[in-house]
Structure formats: structure tokens, C-alpha cells
């Protein structure tokens, strides 16, 4: 039986501002969309935390037995410098400054994004569509919204009419804002003069003569608005109403608010059942910003090449640190916090490595089933990784007590104990045992060295030494295989 049938998962829904029992649109299947990066610079640490949080969600849903379609987009056009539809396209601006093609910028930073997430052991999404790959779908949505009278065209650009939409719907339902407050707080910005109202947002922007990234449309040669791409791609791959939409807290307004409005007009239904938002990351108690120097890239953490942290920290130790805070809480990234987390990570990995050294007894003095149920209870409570990690440290205590024979465990309970620890540590939290990997690398290095010595012996016709190296490795469970491309080995 799939685990989701016996586990009642609750998710904090940003729309209702409360925890709700998770019931997918289709039983046993989950559709999840997460707003991906705008690829004009190296992925920053705050983005990494957001994507790590939703990787954890993806992993736990899969662990529960759901068939998950996880869609995460790449924004490679249409994201202007200012959310009020003013300024240059961020990617085009980077291309202009570096005197390269915009798609060179996209390629460079998409590769960086993938490599960084792979380093911290994020799973790839099921589908990773791009904005430029879905221009046709976006144009069709704009046509539909225009036909329904909720958008208007001015000088080749098309804008969503927020005030007209708000006559029958609630623009601000997700963020809790209302139009009156929005009007009161609106500043006059360049490029807003052709809008009916400052609150209106672009569905299509006419490209000026300097704008490199442009596509033909019924209104002008131009490009789609930033908000539109996510509506187009999420509904194409997940349907008109899907289960989970995630992103950073900073996207709640205006990006996600605009998504709700344009999708509801286009399809006539609420697009998402559960809105999830990961909170921000600060550095040493202050907002991260390049302008102030209070800024660090993920690779600078792993290499130690920075002036902010006391030392280098491994990807898994860094991941462990981030997961010790709830995904909805602000996390202060500090050297002291990382050092403390690293010590905890080492203790956890040592305990996991010691599981095979535990001797079984006829009976158990530890209630493994109660502990296991508590692990699931914490994750079922809106993916509460801090409490899960606290339960895993209870398991560390159990391991130490069992090794010193102060407690006992049956063979059946030990199997369940191992399976549960491994599932939550590696499958759900996505950690790696970097110490085992180091040992494996060292073993490979030693064997390759011995293979080289054996080759020298064979070249010198010292068959006795060659056979001795082969036989002694075989006695240790390491089999050598000679072939036309050289000698390879396998560990039994």
C-alpha cells in the first residue's frame, strides 16, 4: 500500500493562510509548479534555499508514493528590471553590457544553475520548460483575455485591466492587498503613461528598436510579460487547475497575484489549490546584497574562497544547515550556525555508518515503531524538517545506546530502523554521506595505484608479483579484469 494512503499530509496554503489537509486533484498523482530562475546571473544563495525547499517537498511526495509531475521553468525572456513593466529585459541588458548574444547569457547561467543544484543534490524536475519555447501559447492566452474584455492594446503593447477584473474578482486574494491601498501607494514610473491604471500589468510589450529579443504577434514585434509565461507553462503541463504552486516569498506579489488573475480569466477556474512560499535568507543578520558586499555565492561556500565565513563547508553540511529551519521561516546564514550544523551532520553520518555494527537481540527495549511514526508525523505537518531532524538525533542516541549494549533491538526492528533512517536522511532530506564517498575515492586511488604496480611487474615479466597483487586484491573482494583497454576492477 502506498504510504500516502496512511499518512494525512497538511500543507500551509498561502491563499487561506492556514494548514490544510492535502487532497490532490487526481488521487495518487501530484502536479507541482515552481517558478524557476531568470538566467542572467549566477544563481544566488536565496534562490538555492527556495529550490532546495521544493526539492525536499518533491522528495517527500515521491516517498509517500505519489506520482509527481514537477514542472520548474527557466525564464529566458520578458523579465524586465522593474516589476512595473519598466526598464530593460534583464537578459538583454546583460548581453548588451558583455557584447554577446542574449542566448549566450541564457546558456551560461542555465548551466551554472543546473551545476549548482546538482552539487547540493537537488533532483531534476520532471519538465523544465522555457519562456521562449512557449511564445505561441502565451499569444493565444492574450487573445483570449482580450476577447473577454479584461485586457486592452495600446501602441502595440497589451495590458491586463486590473480594475475591471477587480469588479467581479479579488485582485490581491493571495497577498492580502486591496486595490485602494495599491492605488494610494503607487509611484509614477517611466513607461506607465500608456496604461489606463498603474496597477495594470503587461501581457505583451512592444519592443523598441534596441530590443534584441522579439517575436511577431498580432499587436507588434515584441515579447510576452514576465507573469504570463508561468500561466502558460503551468496550465499546459499540469492542467487548468493543479495541486501545488511554489516559489519564493518575494514572488507572492505581484508575480503570483498576476498569475491567478490572468489564469482565472483565461480558464474560468482557480488555477492552483495549494500555494506554497519559501521564506528569505539573510546573511549575518542583514539582507544579502551585492551593493553592500554582504553577499556570497554557493560555490564560494564550498571552496572557502570568501571573506565572510570562517572556513569551507561541504554541500551536504550546507544543505543540512538550511533544512534545520522551516521552509517558511527566515533563515540567518552565519558561520557559527554552519559550524554547529556541520558537527550535527557529522554525528548523524557517523550514526548511519554504525548501523551495520549493531547486534540484534530477541526483543527490543526501544519502541522503534513509535519513533518511526513520529518521523512521519513531523513531515506530515507541513514538511517540518526541523522536527524531523530532532527525531533523527533521537535515532543517533538510540544507535549509541545499542552499540554500547545499554539497549536491545530485534532483527525485525533493526531492519525497520535502518530503512527509516536511510529513507529520511538520504531520500527525503537529500543528504549524502560525504565520508563514505571520500573513503570510496581513496579506495579507488589505492586500487588504481596497485593496478599500475601490477602493470609494471608484468612489463618486467615479474609474474610472481603480478599474481600476488591480483590474488591479494581478490582475497579482499576486489576483482581485476584485464582487457584490451587496460585493467578495470569491481568490488564484490
- Known binding site for ATP: residues? 290
Provide the 8-state DSSP code for 292: G
Measured distance CA(7)–CA(90) in Å, rounded: 44
CA distance 328 to 54: 11
What's the DSSP call for residue 97?
H
Cell numbers standing for residue 127: 519538465
- Residue 22: all three cell numbers together: 492535502
DSSP type of residue 423: I
Annotated binding site: 35, 230, 255, 259, 290
Binding residues for Zn(2+): 35, 230, 255, 259
β partners of residue 86 = 82
List all residues 6 or more positions away from 331 whose beta carbon is below 8 Å from its beta carbon: 49, 279, 280, 281, 282, 322, 325
Cell 500500500 sits on residue: 1
Is the CB of residue 127 less than 8 Å from the CB of residue 73? no
What span, in angstroms and rounded, lies between the C-alpha atoms of 420 and 297?
34
Following DSSP, what letter does each residue of 406-430 receive, concatenated?
A: SS--BHHHHHHHHHHHHIIIIIIS-
Cis peptide bond N-terminal to 56, omega within 30 = no
**CA distance from start to end of the chain:** 33
Amino acid at each position: 500500500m502506498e504510504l500516502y494512503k496512511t499518512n494525512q499530509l497538511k500543507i500551509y496554503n498561502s491563499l487561506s493562510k492556514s494548514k490544510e489537509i492535502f487532497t490532490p486533484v487526481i488521487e495518487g498523482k501530484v502536479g507541482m509548479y515552481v517558478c524557476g530562475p531568470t538566467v542572467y546571473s549566477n544563481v544566488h544563495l536565496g534562490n538555492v534555499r527556495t529550490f532546495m525547499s521544493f526539492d525536499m517537498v518533491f522528495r517527500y511526495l515521491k516517498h509517500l508514493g505519489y506520482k509527481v509531475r514537477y514542472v520548474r521553468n527557466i525564464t529566458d525572456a520578458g523579465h524586465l528590471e522593474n516589476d512595473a513593466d519598466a526598464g530593460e529585459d534583464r537578459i538583454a541588458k546583460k548581453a548588451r553590457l558583455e557584447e554577446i548574444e542574449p542566448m549566450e547569457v541564457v546558456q551560461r547561467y542555465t548551466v551554472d544553475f543546473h551545476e549548482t543544484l546538482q552539487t547540493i543534490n537537488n533532483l531534476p524536475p520532471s519538465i523544465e520548460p522555457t519562456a521562449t519555447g512557449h511564445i505561441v501559447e502565451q499569444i493565444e492566452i492574450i487573445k483570449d483575455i482580450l476577447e473577454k474584455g479584461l485586457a486592452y492594446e495600446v501602441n502595440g503593447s497589451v495590458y491586463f485591466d486590473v480594475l475591471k477584473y477587480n469588479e467581479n474578482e479579488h485582485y490581491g486574494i493571495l497577498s492580502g492587498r486591496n486595490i485602494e491601498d495599491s492605488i494610494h501607494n503607487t509611484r509614477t514610473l517611466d513607461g506607465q503613461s500608456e496604461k489606463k491604471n498603474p496597477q495594470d500589468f503587461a501581457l505583451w510589450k512592444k519592443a523598441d528598436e534596441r530590443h534584441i529579443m522579439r517575436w511577431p504577434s498580432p499587436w507588434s514585434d515584441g515579447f510576452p510579460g514576465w507573469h504570463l509565461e508561468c500561466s502558460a507553462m503551468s496550465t499546459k503541463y499540469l492542467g487548468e487547475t493543479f495541486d501545488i504552486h511554489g516559489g519564493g516569498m518575494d514572488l507572492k506579489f505581484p508575480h503570483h497575484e498576476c498569475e491567478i488573475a490572468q489564469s482565472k480569466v483565461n480558464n474560468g477556474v482557480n488555477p492552483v489549490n495549494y500555494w506554497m512560499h519559501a521564506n528569505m535568507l539573510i546573511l549575518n543578520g542583514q539582507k544579502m546584497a551585492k551593493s553592500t558586499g554582504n553577499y556570497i555565492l554557493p560555490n564560494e561556500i564550498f571552496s572557502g574562497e570568501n571573506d565572510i565565513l570562517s572556513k569551507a563547508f561541504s554541500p551536504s553540511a550546507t544543505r543540512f544547515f538550511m533544512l534545520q529551519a522551516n521552509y517558511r521561516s527566515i533563515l540567518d546564514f552565519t558561520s557559527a550556525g554552519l559550524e554547529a550544523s556541520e558537527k550535527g551532520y557529522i554525528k548523524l553520518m557517523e550514526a548511519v555508518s554504525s548501523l551495520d555494527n549493531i547486534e540484534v537481540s530477541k526483543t527490543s527495549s526501544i519502541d522503534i515503531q513509535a519513533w518511526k511514526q513520529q518521523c512521519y508525523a513531523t513531515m506530515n505537518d507541513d514538511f517540518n524538517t526541523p522536527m524531523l531532524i530532532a527525531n533523527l538525533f533521537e535515532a543517533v542516541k538510540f544507535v549509541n545506546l545499542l552499540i554500547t549494549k545499554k539497549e536491545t533491538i530485534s532483527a525485525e526492528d533493526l531492519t525497520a530502523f535502518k530503512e527509516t533512517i536511510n529513507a529520511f536522511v538520504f531520500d527525503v532530506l537529500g543528504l549524502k554521506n560525504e565520508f563514505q564517498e571520500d573513503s570510496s575515492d581513496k579506495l579507488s586511488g589505492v586500487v588504481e595505484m596497485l593496478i599500475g604496480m601490477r602493470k609494471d611487474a608484468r612489463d618486467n615479466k615479474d609474474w610472481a608479483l603480478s599474481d600476488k597483487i591480483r590474488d591479494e586484491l581478490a582475497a579482499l573482494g576486489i576483482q581485476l579484469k584485464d582487457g584490451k583497454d587496460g585493467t578495470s576492477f569491481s568490488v564484490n
